[in-house]
A and B are shown apart, each in its own frame.
Chain A
Amino acid sequence: MGTVAIRSVRKTYGQLEVIHGVSIDIADGEFVALVGPSGCGKSTLLRMIAGLEEITGGEIAIGGRVVNDVVPKDRDIAMVFQNYALYPHMNVRDNMGFALRQRRLPRAEIDARVADAARILGLEQLLDRKPRALSGGQRQRVAMGRAIVRQPNVFLFDEPLSNLDAKLRVQMRSELKELHQRLGVTTVYVTHDQIEAMTLADRVVVMNGGIVEQMGPPLDLYDRPKSLFVAAFIGSPPMNFLEGIVDRDETLVLDDGSRLSLPMPVRGKARVTVGIRPEHLALAAIGWPAVVSVIEPTGSETQITARMGDHVIRVLIRGRTEVRPGETIHLEARAEDVHVFDTGSGRRLTAEALEGADR
């Protein structure tokens, strides 16, 4: 069984604690993405699952067995590294079969498994090549092939696509997803790219500063971010934020003095940040006034950049628009699409915060 249980795991380097008690339960066959800015501890956590970093506190169990003191080779995991780490002195076939040779499997079985993985990944023609004779995308595939032939309990990926160019990255991303659907092996995937996390994972874990900010299905994170950090991190183009003081429950007073009426009441908090995704803003006859500065049509949709007092607001609308730069437009949003956060703590204030928590 490929379950992974991470319980109150901490990591310190000398005096410095970089992971402050993280708990994640990963079900068998689940695809979990760890996402966050650099230095948030996501790679360290993955390396602790792999056994490449010692666990300072708490425990990690793979398939129900606590592996804190188990060496990497006995954890029944396979890992794909960002730089692929192919063995340069071995050809593709030997690279893929290395782990099986280490386990002294019969020659025929090794050959069969390597051939199988090569077929899945389209590497049949390249088996006799050395890594230096492969392109970046091919090396990436060999690295995945090396993981597949192991038939491990858990796949670990450490930013496997970030060395590829944009086009190849998108292609490999869908290949990876297809591969996961086909093999159904539990996968822990580290990335700093929220789009990668959103598109690939069954569940996304957003990390920041060594703690889990929020975890849940990708769209839950998108629709109900529990903190300002998650709201800002997830989504592209990013969420708009307006900061000000709540006056009389339903009115937000921005720092430049302009007043915006909120579509729902906000209970007694002095300083708040209101977040609205660009696609949740709509042009309306009456509403919040804003002055258009840039119009960017892409055909299927149009992005409008506008100024609201001192704030820059992005609006994404379906189709096309007659609006011109310099015009004043009026914007509105539905109550359920407006996220209100306590500016000081960064926590969500709207009612769904309580419902959407701790899934």
Chain B
Amino acid sequence: MTAAAFDAPLRRRSRLGRKVRIAAGVFACVVFLFPVFWMVLSSFKEQRDIFTVPPTLFFTPTLETYISYMQRADISRRLINTVIVAAGSGLLSIVAGAMAGYALARIKLRGAGTIGVIILLSRGVPPIALAVPMFLVARSLGVTDMHITLILAYCTFLIPYVMWLMRGFFLALPKELEESAMIDGCSRFGAFFKIIVPISMPGLLSTMIFSMILAWEELLFALVLTNRYASTIPVAIAGIAGDTVNGANWGALTAVGTITVIPVVVFALLVQKWLIQGLADGATKG
């Protein structure tokens, strides 16, 4: 690289800046990770040890709260519900959102920009303003407390999100790839599925996982649209935290919280791995 010669003095000058940035990064990590650390630690404590002053750092870990709560609040069924809803809305939004994003990125359509902006603006509506109308619609259709209702509700904010992320992704791909495919015998759809989708896999998968994480953690719509059969983990956590009869059970909260966070962490790590991979590497001159 010819740029190396120019980089050297720059790099030397920013060495101090680099240290400052690292320190700031470490500080931010500590601030953000400490509650998680506290939660995981507390979930293995006995109830009486959670609020001791000074906090006990060394103790005999126990799975008691996990075991008891898994049975009591029907956590396993809610976990399954959450998986169904997160996977369902993640898949549906990636299929619809990616195709919409592709259309916005490539198809010359009068007013395409306006359509895109309007769809994006719909994300600006506060969810709470939509939750009640959605509930009324769901009730009159007789579909409250069903997985599909929650999945469709989540798609209202996931599809615009996927659409805009994927639009940017597709815009970065050379359009000659599809043109070449179309000359080689594909229709526009064929070029999309045979060329664009395979090379966009890293972007598609990471976007889908982001969507699934958003759906996984969603509380408001789940609270309004479900009550027993299809209700999800965040609703259960809210129930524990807001238990006015017995008071908040902190042991249970931390245990369920930990269970909820694990898949998110795993997914986030997966996304990071994919994002690092090259995207359309080697398609063009390079």
A-to-B contact residues, CB < 8 Å:
50-52, 71-73, 75, 77-79, 81-89, 98-99, 102-103, 130-134, 136, 139, 146, 150, 163
Neighbouring A residues of B278 by C-beta, 8 Å: 132
A sample of 6 inter-chain contacts (CB < 8 A) reads: A51-B182, A73-B187, A82-B176, A102-B184, A132-B281, A139-B285
Known A-B contacts A88-B199, A88-B282; the reply to A73 vs B182 at CB < 8 A is yes
Range, interface on chain B: 20 to 34
Q: Is B186 an interface residue (CB 8 A)?
A: yes
Interface residues of B in 27-77 (CB under 8 A from A): none
Rounded to whole Å, the gap between the CB of A103 and the closest CB of chain B is 6
Partner of B283, one of A87, A133, A163: A87
Q: Is B245 an interface residue (CB 8 A)?
A: no
Q: Is B198 an interface residue (CB 8 A)?
A: yes
Known A-B contacts A81-B176, A132-B278; the reply to A86 vs B283 at CB < 8 A is yes
Tell whether, in the assembled complex, residue A84 and residue B184 are in contact, meaning their CB atoms are under 8 Å apart.
no
Tell whether, in the assembled complex, residue B286 and residue A133 are in contact, meaning their CB atoms are under 8 Å apart.
no
C-alpha spacing A103/B179, complex, angstroms: 17
Neighbouring B residues of A131 by C-beta, 8 Å: 282-283
C-alpha spacing A50/B278, complex, angstroms: 30
The main secondary structure of chain A at its interface with chain B is loop
Neighbouring B residues of A103 by C-beta, 8 Å: 185
C-alpha spacing A81/B179, complex, angstroms: 9
CB-CB nearest in chain A for B198: A89
Neighbouring B residues of A86 by C-beta, 8 Å: 282-284
Tell whether, in the assembled complex, residue A83 and residue B174 are in contact, meaning their CB atoms are under 8 Å apart.
yes
The main secondary structure of chain B at its interface with chain A is loop
Produce 1/0 per residue, B249-267, CB < 8 A to A: 0000000000000000000
Tell whether, in the assembled complex, residue B195 and residue A136 are in contact, meaning their CB atoms are under 8 Å apart.
no
C-alpha spacing A87/B199, complex, angstroms: 8
Other A-B pairs, 7, CB within 8 Å; known A87-B283, A88-B282? A72-B183, A73-B184, A81-B176, A85-B174, A88-B199, A99-B184, A102-B185
Produce 1/0 per residue, B162-187, CB < 8 A to A: 00000000000010110111111111
Neighbouring B residues of A77 by C-beta, 8 Å: 183
C-alpha spacing A132/B278, complex, angstroms: 10
Tell whether, in the assembled complex, residue B183 and residue A50 are in contact, meaning their CB atoms are under 8 Å apart.
yes
Neighbouring B residues of A50 by C-beta, 8 Å: 179, 183
Q: Is B280 an interface residue (CB 8 A)?
A: yes
Neighbouring A residues of B198 by C-beta, 8 Å: 89
Known A-B contacts A52-B182, A99-B185; the reply to A132 vs B176 at CB < 8 A is no
Tell whether, in the assembled complex, residue B183 and residue A73 are in contact, meaning their CB atoms are under 8 Å apart.
yes
Rounded to whole Å, the gap between the CB of A6 and the closest CB of chain B is 18
Neighbouring A residues of B281 by C-beta, 8 Å: 88, 132
Tell whether, in the assembled complex, residue A87 and residue B284 are in contact, meaning their CB atoms are under 8 Å apart.
no
Which 7 residue pairs are nearest across A and B when measured between Cβ atoms?
A132-B282, A102-B185, A83-B284, A85-B176, A131-B282, A99-B184, A85-B180
Neighbouring A residues of B174 by C-beta, 8 Å: 83, 85
Neighbouring A residues of B284 by C-beta, 8 Å: 83-86
C-alpha spacing A103/B186, complex, angstroms: 9
Rounded to whole Å, the gap between the CB of A316 and the closest CB of chain B is 34
Neighbouring A residues of B285 by C-beta, 8 Å: 83-84, 136, 139, 163
CB-CB nearest in chain A for B280: A88
Neighbouring B residues of A132 by C-beta, 8 Å: 278, 281-282, 286
Rounded to whole Å, the gap between the CB of A129 and the closest CB of chain B is 10
Interface residues of B in 4-41 (CB under 8 A from A): none
Known A-B contacts A85-B179, A88-B199; the reply to A136 vs B184 at CB < 8 A is no
C-alpha spacing A146/B184, complex, angstroms: 9
CB-CB nearest in chain B for A13: B108
C-alpha spacing A318/B280, complex, angstroms: 51
Neighbouring B residues of A71 by C-beta, 8 Å: 182, 187
C-alpha spacing A191/B183, complex, angstroms: 20
Neighbouring B residues of A81 by C-beta, 8 Å: 176, 179-180
Rounded to whole Å, the gap between the CB of A170 and the closest CB of chain B is 18
